[in-house]
Amino acid sequence: SSVSSDKATQETPSYACQRRTPLHHHNKEIVDALQILALSASFQGSEARYLGFTRAASVLKCLPFTLQSAEEVKDLQFCGGHSKTVIQEILEDRVCREVEMVKNSEHYQSMKVLTGIFGVGIRTADKWYRDGIRSLSDLNEIEGKLTGEQKAGLLHYTDLQQPVTRDEAERVEQLVKGALQSFVPDVQVTMTGGFRRGKQEGHDVDFLITHPNEEALNGLLRKAVAWLDSKGSILYHHIKGRSHNFARSSTMDGHETCYAIFALPNACPEKSPDAGTIQPDLDKSPPRNWKAVRVDLVVAPYSEYSYALLGWTGSKHFERELRRFSLQVKKMSLNSHGLFDIEKKCHYPATSEEEIFAHLGLLYLTPSERNA
Ligand code: GTP
Ligand code: MN
Ligand code: MN
């Protein structure tokens, strides 16, 4: 719905799913600043301002050069006036007063800590804030009111704040595959999310599970998680069963999903020449030989696998833009189960992500080009 000349529209397509967005780009400082304002807007419940700043940040991620002067900002498309002011201020003064104010505000700081807890969304955090809760220690007073998920999130807060490295993600993959394969040897397991887009670290590890024979998937997730639990690998888990009334919704997905916290054993240390040296044990508590890691496991029937793969690879903004493009431009409803043509009233099956892009009339983007 943005007004721009034909020529300008050709230069930067308006939907993020029409552009290649690499993981690494040339305007990190400005993108970080805009994303702080986006986050702050979402903490204040302003979806429109969140989207405005997020879209502006996303456009900058595609710029093939580093912005140098405020002059260059004038012609930037799909970047609102407020975002342009922020960009100009950073280019001129290195900092933006509004961003500094947000970073120092009590609401932003508390919301960042509270929403950083697994199981705590913006609404819950904001309600707590209005009840006077500012920090993790304040939560002790309402411990009885916390959900099981939130209690686990609080208990493992420090570990879960540490980024998951690619090496750790690969060790989680081995654990997950081992558990699933002990029941179904030829089960297909794919790492999705940020790691599939090429990120070197993430806030969790996401997996998609499928098999050509749907029968093989029945009860598999529960059995595999119980197996891992019996080996002491699971600190917390919650399984959401498959739901069947998602068909035409572009916001709801109904795959069987396990949201878990794993106890990931430390990597075996490399043998070093002084491996036998006795270390003085200053702290009496035994050293912990595991790290808590957030893991999402999703099961998709084979016929929906490509849609689930596309839907769980992200980024979050890329997915939102892809669904918005489908609905607004193509009059089709896209979710992690399929693509529904609202006017022709038909579904489009797909056996690869390439086919889904083709159904939508979009240029194919590899996972590493979806870092919108
Ligand atoms: P980090 O984990 O922070 O490294 O980034 P990420 O891109 O992997 O984010 P995240 O794990 O939150 O989500 C991965 C992708 O899965 C995102 O693009 C989301 O669109 C999608 N996703 C996350 N949660 C859900 C959910 O509950 N349902 C569905 N259908 N998709 C989800
Ligand atoms: Mn992830
Ligand atoms: Mn996830």
Same domain, yes or no: 9 and 90: yes
Residue 162 burial (CB count, 10 A): 13
Q: What percent of the chain shows pLDDT beyond 90?
A: 85
pLDDT score recorded for residue 269? 80
Q: Do 136 and 177 have their domain in common?
A: no
What pLDDT, on the 0 to 100 scale, is given for residue 286?
81
The residue among 5 and 295 whose pLDDT is bigger is 295
Q: Hey, whose CA ends up nearest to atom 3 of ligand 1?
A: 203
Whether residue 69 is found in the same domain as residue 195:
no
Dist CA 185 CA 223 (whole Å)? 14
The string of pLDDT tens digits covering residues 25-73 is: 999 999 999 999 999 999 999 999 999 999 999 999 999 999 999 889 8
The predicted model gives 163-188 an average pLDDT of 98
Where do the DSSP E strands lie in the chain? Answer: 164-165, 188-191, 201-202, 205-210, 234-240, 256-265, 290-299, 332-334, 339-341, 346-347
The pLDDT of residue 29 is 97
Answer whether residue 91 is part of any domain: yes
Whole-angstrom Cα distance, residue 89 to residue 95? 7
Residue 273 placed within a domain: no
Q: How confident is the model at residue 18 (pLDDT cuts 50, 70, 90)?
A: very high
Same domain, 144 and 210: no
Q: Whose CA is nearest to atom 20 of ligand 1?
A: 316
Is the Cα dihedral 354, 355, 360, 363 positive or negative?
positive
- Which residues is 294 bridged to in the sheet? 261
**Least confident range of 95-99, 271-275, 302-306:** 271-275
Domain co-membership, 124 together with 186: no
Identify whether residues 293 and 198 lie together within a single domain: yes
pLDDT averaged over every residue in the chain: 93
Predicted local confidence at residue 311, as pLDDT: 98
Range of the domain at 257: 164-267+286-302
Residue 345 located in a structural domain: yes
193-219 average pLDDT score:
98
Q: What is the pLDDT of residues 146-155, one digit of tens each?
A: 999 999 999 9
Ligand 2 geometric centre to CA of 175 (Å): 17
Instruction: Tell which wins on pLDDT, 284 or 312.
Output: 312
CA dihedral 212, 213, 218, 220 (to 10 degrees): -60
State yes or no: pLDDT of 5 exceeds 50. Answer: no
CATH number at residue 123: 1.10.150.20
**What one-character-per-residue DSSP string does 90-122 give?**
HHHHSS-HHHHHHHH-HHHHHHHHHHTSTT--H
Question: Is the residue at 276 inside a domain?
Answer: no
Per-residue confidence (pLDDT) for residue 4, from 0 to 100:
42
Give the HSE-up count for residue 267: Cα atoms under 13 Å, Cβ half-sphere: 10
Residue 12 is predicted with a pLDDT of: 76
Q: For residue 249, is pLDDT > 70?
A: no
Q: Are residues 317 and 333 in the same domain?
A: yes
**Is 16:372 a contact under the CB 8 Å cutoff?**
yes
pLDDT at 244: 78
Q: Report how far residue 210's alpha carbon sits from residue 69's, in angstroms, rounded to the nearest whole number.
A: 50
Residue 2 has pLDDT above 70, yes or no: no
Whether 280 is in a domain gets the answer no
Query: Is residue 127 helix, strand or coil?
Result: helix
Q: 190 and 243: one domain?
A: yes
Looking at residue 221, its pLDDT comes to: 98
Q: Tokens at residue 199, please? A: 């990120």
- Say yes or no: 40 and 92 in one domain: yes
**Is 338 found in the same domain as 259?**
no
pLDDT band with cut points at 50, 70 and 90 for residue 273: low
* CA 55/CA 345 separation, integer angstroms: 31
CB 160 within 8 A of CB 292: yes
pLDDT-wise least confident of 253-257, 264-268, 270-274: 270-274
> 282 or 177, which is more confident?
177
pLDDT higher than threshold 70 for residue 272:
no
Pocket (CB within 6 angstroms of ligand 1): 193-194, 199, 202-204, 206, 253, 311-312, 314-316, 319, 336
Give the pLDDT mean for 351-368.
98
Dist. CA 119–CA 149, nearest whole Å: 5
Ligand 3 (single-atom ion) residues, CB below 5 Å? 204, 206, 296
State the ligand closest to the CA atom of 194. 1
Compute, in angstroms, the gap from residue 172 CA to the centroid of ligand 2.
Answer: 13
- How many domains, the chain? 4
Cα(161)–Cα(134) distance, integer angstroms? 18
